[in-house]
Structure 1
Amino acid sequence: MTDWTAADMPDQTGRRVVVTGANTGLGKEAARAFAAKGADVVLACRSVERAEAAKADIEAERPSGSLTVLELDLADLDSVRSFADAFTDEFDDLHVLANNAGVMAIPRRETADGFETQFGVNHLGHFALTGHLLDDLRETGSGDDPARVVTMSSGIHERGRIDFEDLHGERSYDKWDAYAQSKLANLLFAYELDRRLDAADAPVESVAAHPGYAATDLQRRGPEMMGSTLRKLGMRVANAVFAQSAEQGALPFLYAATMPDISGGEYYGPGGFANMRGAPERQRSSKRSYEEGTAYRLWSVSEEGTGVAYELPDARGETASGDAAGAAADD
């Protein structure tokens, strides 16, 4: 695995992949790699204009796969539902759902539904999207070839804690703590989803990945929203000196999405210095990310907050969708 690159991906011909945030950075590089290997890729992006530009750029390389743009704003649950409806109307299969899009270390804002934006976009938006597309995944996957949900986390999840008393930073807000919480939530979700899929004997696997330190537009947005030219310059310098490319940063995500030796509940990241760069390898995430009680509670809160109920039994043998509101209230 030490020399693995996108060229080593298995052929993806005949497979359909949804990549969120595919207009730039890691998402665009993932979409490019999937299409080059023959996949039919749906670029799920908030800005249709930027997504069309990314599509044109990738198509200029004459990939063997196809690319389709569909609008998706993860900061608006109505948009998430509309995307899922449009996808299901147009397509009848889904092999890989790549939950990649995100925002990082931004000033406190709220989504259309009143969630703190980092938690709302990075976790709740993807939670809702996955729930809406779960039937498509289950109908496409098989025992020999399960469909896959791949959720992008970050090494900063190790700093994260799920603050159930102030999930949306209404009492106290630190942009990096909020980002770390959202990235820990991504892992708790990915692992809990896999446990529930396994309990249902569903032909779908849930895995997670992180890119290490990769140079993308993600680092630019926080300083831009703060109006800080100095911090924006600092991020640009740090990216140039320390970061690996977005193409390299996408590799753990691509490995987790495509390689046949993957098992549900696994986590992949760069295997080089401090897990910030290098070829993908299987890794362990933080101790908190494996806390099943926290994951169960977060799942209940997420179902209640988004109104999206998964028809999956939890690891305790109960049907989560029927107990979501009660579990949240009991906590």
Structure 2
Amino acid sequence: MGEKWTKSSVPGQRGRVAVVTGANTGLGYETAKALAERGASVVLAVRDVGKGEQAAARMTGDVTVQALDLTSLDSVQAAAAGLRSRLDRIDLLINNAGVMYTPKQTTRDGFEMQFGTNHLGHFALTGLLLDLMLPVPGSRVVTVSSTGHRIRAAIHFDDLQWERSYSRVAAYGQSKLANLMFTYELQRRLAPHGTTAALAAHPGLSSTELARNSPTAFRLPLTWLAPLITQTPAMGALPTLRAATDPAALGGQYYGPGGRNEIKGHPRLVTSSPQSYEAAVQQRLWAVSEDLTGVRFPIAASGQSPSPSGSATAP
């Protein structure tokens, strides 16, 4: 398909079922819209059902809505039950929804908002739906991370919920680093099954509502510079779409914009930070995430960790 992978590069998706979280606006909307246009049956998993239905009405194809509030494990459980009651398979699970740079607050279960929403909510949802994917050859879990995983980021096992102090930037970095570590550990566990693959993507700097909670010192310059340094949500969705649908994509790979500093451009294979590949930390985070959510995956730890080179296991 060449270096300039575009929306038209998405293969036909007829007969496939895709669940996209946070799909009523921004990157999620563009991802879901493209999949539906290519023939997939798409479920918009969203917190606001009314807005989700409005988004579905603007799309072409088989598009339905499922209530999902990632800040509540009860809602995640209910959403998974709802999806299981009407779907007999899932080919694509796109963990796209997220929050960024929120003031200090907690989810309904007492988790720091960014870690709880971006990582733990998706961790739980994936675990509850995975058995609908394991029998499906070529199925994929794609989790959306960010270049923010490199900024003041670490997994703070001694204070995961930021109870002693709080930095909205560092907390976001932790959540996005967790997205990648989850992907790599999930791929390690999926590899022996040979049917389902886990991949990650990031959108670069896209003009969406995600940055609305950014500190003023960051938000105002971004507003002025946006036309020069950001790309549209449709372009920002392309790395996710490539990870989800490119036949050449492999489990454990990470896709982002191909331009300078991965800020914008057509999607290509990229690498994440060195610490994101630390298998021992991935495994510890997985165990902690199981304990916090109460969700156990129907797969065991096995195999080798994905490497920064992008070598991985094909779905």
TM-score (norm 1): 0.88
Change (3 A) 1:23 1:277: same
Aligned to 1:32: 33
Which residue of 1 is the match for residue 115 of structure 2?
Answer: 119
Kindly report the root-mean-square deviation, in angstroms, between the aligned alpha carbons of the 2 structures: 1.5
The answer (yes or no) to whether the contact 1:22–1:43 under 8 Å persists in 2 is: yes
Which among 161, 182, 186 is matched to residue 154 of structure 2? 161
Q: Secondary structure at the match of 2:58?
A: helix
Segments of 5+ residues of structure 1 without an aligned counterpart are 318-331
1:234-277 alpha-carbon deviations (Å, 9 max, x no partner) = 44334333210000000000000001111110000001111111
Deviation digits for residues 168-210 of structure 1 (CA, Å, limit 9, x no counterpart): 11001100000000000000000000001114x2510000000
Deviation at 1:231, TM superposition (A): 6.4
Is residue 264 from structure 1 mapped to residue 251 from structure 2 by the alignment? Answer: yes
Q: CA deviation at 1:306?
A: 0.1
Please give the alpha-carbon distance, in whole angstroms, between the structure 2 residues aligned to 1:132 and 1:22.
19
2:65 match: secondary structure: strand
Q: Give the corresponding residue for 1:49.
A: 50
The counterpart of 1:132, out of the listed 111, 118, 128, is 128
Other structure's SS at 2:13 match: coil
Distance 2:250 2:163 in 1: 38
Structure number having the greater helix percentage? 1
- In the alignment, is the contact (CA less than 8 A) between 2:52 and 2:65 conserved in 1? yes
Equivalent position of 1:188 in the other structure? 181
Please say if residues 103 and 213 of structure 2, whose CA atoms lie closer than 8 Å, have aligned partners that are also in contact: no
- Per-residue CA deviation, residues 95-134 of structure 1 (Å, 9 max, x unaligned), is 0000000000110110010000000000000000000000
1:80 corresponds to which residue?
76
4+ residue segments displaced more than 2 Å: 230-241
The aligned counterpart of 1:96 is: 92
1:156 Cα shift?
Answer: 1.4
**1:315 paired residue among 302, 305, 308:** 302
1:253 aligns with 2:230: no
Q: Distance in 1 between matches of 2:303 and 2:16?
A: 33
Uncovered stretches (5+) of structure 2, i.e. residues with no partner = 305-315
| Equivalent pairs, count | 302
Following the alignment from structure 1 to structure 2, what is the Cα–Cα distance between the partners of residues 283 and 234? 27
Is the partner of 1:69 in helix, strand or coil?
Answer: strand
> Identical aligned pairs, as a percentage?
49
Map Cα deviations across residues 33-77 of structure 1 (whole Å, 9 max, x no partner). 00110111000000111111111122xxxx3x3100110000000
Q: Aligned match of 2:278 in 284, 291, 308? A: 291
Query: d(CA) in 2 for partners of 1:71 and 1:90?
Result: 13
1:270-300 per-residue CA deviation (whole Å, 9 max, x = no partner) reads 0111111101111111101100000000000
